[in-house]
Amino acid sequence: MSLPFSPLPFAPGYRRIASEIAARILDRTLKIGESLPSEVDLAAQFAVNRGTVREALRELESAHLLARRRGTKRMVVVRPAANQVADRLRHALALNEVTIREVWSMLEVLEPPAAQAAAEARTPAALGRIESAVRRYREDHASAQAAVEGVAEFFRAIAAASGNRVLPLMQEPLLRLLAAALAVMIDAAPPARARIGAAQQRILEAIAAADGATAKDWMAKHVRDFRRGFELCGIDLDTAVPNER
């Protein structure tokens, strides 16, 4: 077990305790899978009552830094899943009323280099996931929902193939925020479906050939095409992105 916690110098609130524990988790003093002391032990270490500790642990559990070990009341350190990180960031972006233009611009920054990195670093398994995403979109894009899901899976597969674990975490909240606008655009612009499929195929071919420059160029064209689709459909790029429910 790592070093015990010290009593806080002032009468602490549960947020202060949560911050102290979170700091130990984030600097990896408390490691993934490690159990925390019991609530009674923590209360003694922090020199507070057990209820204050319980509130602190509840907050850390909500932040997906702690979880209860099955069958016991003990808390263990966990790593937030990518979708949990994405949800928190998506909510923050939606509350800040970011626009379609801002989200699309970030995809323009992220996706072309991701495609280049995917071409240079892809493994057979990663390439197989991209091929599966392209095939899925080609075979099932009749409904707007299926088409949007296919677009999102293609981008996710590219990010995963890049080998950079930061990319999926940055990308996911943007894809979720754009989903509603993409659904409107895909339904309102009939040629969009075919153009998306053709671009995906070109990007796949470049990645399969380990041609990073071509993959980057085609991804840049692909992302720019989304903007043209929004404009043709009369979607105002400067309106706040609708938050998915």
Which pLDDT score is estimated for 8? 57
Q: Which domain holds residue 214?
A: 83-232
Structural domain count of the chain: 2
- Residue 103 located in a structural domain: yes
Residues 106 and 185 reside in one and the same domain: yes
CATH number, domain of 72, equals 1.10.10.10
Which pLDDT score is estimated for 3? 63
Which pLDDT score is estimated for 186? 85
Which pLDDT score is estimated for 42? 93
Residues 92 and 163 reside in one and the same domain: yes
Which pLDDT score is estimated for 177? 83
Tell me the β-bridge partners of 77.
66
- Residue 245 located in a structural domain: no
Which pLDDT score is estimated for 207? 98
What is the DSSP code (8-state) at residue 33?
T
Listed residue (100, 80, 74, 95) closest to 174, CA to CA: 100
* Those residues with Cβ within 8 angstroms of residue 36's Cβ, 6 or more apart along the chain or in another chain: 21, 30, 42, 57, 66, 74, 75, 76, 77
- Residue 151 located in a structural domain: yes
Contact at 8 Å (CB) between 80 and 32? no
Which pLDDT score is estimated for 10? 56
How far, in Å, CA of 227 to CA of 117, rounded? 23
Contact at 8 Å (CB) between 68 and 74? yes
How far, in Å, CA of 34 to CA of 92, rounded? 30
Contact at 8 Å (CB) between 46 and 5? yes
- Residue 70 located in a structural domain: yes
CATH number, domain of 138, equals 1.20.120.530
Instruction: Give 10-residue mean pLDDT values along the chain (245 residues).
Output: 62 81 91 92 92 92 87 85 76 82 91 97 96 95 90 96 92 85 82 92 98 98 90 85 64
Tell me the β-bridge partners of 67.
76
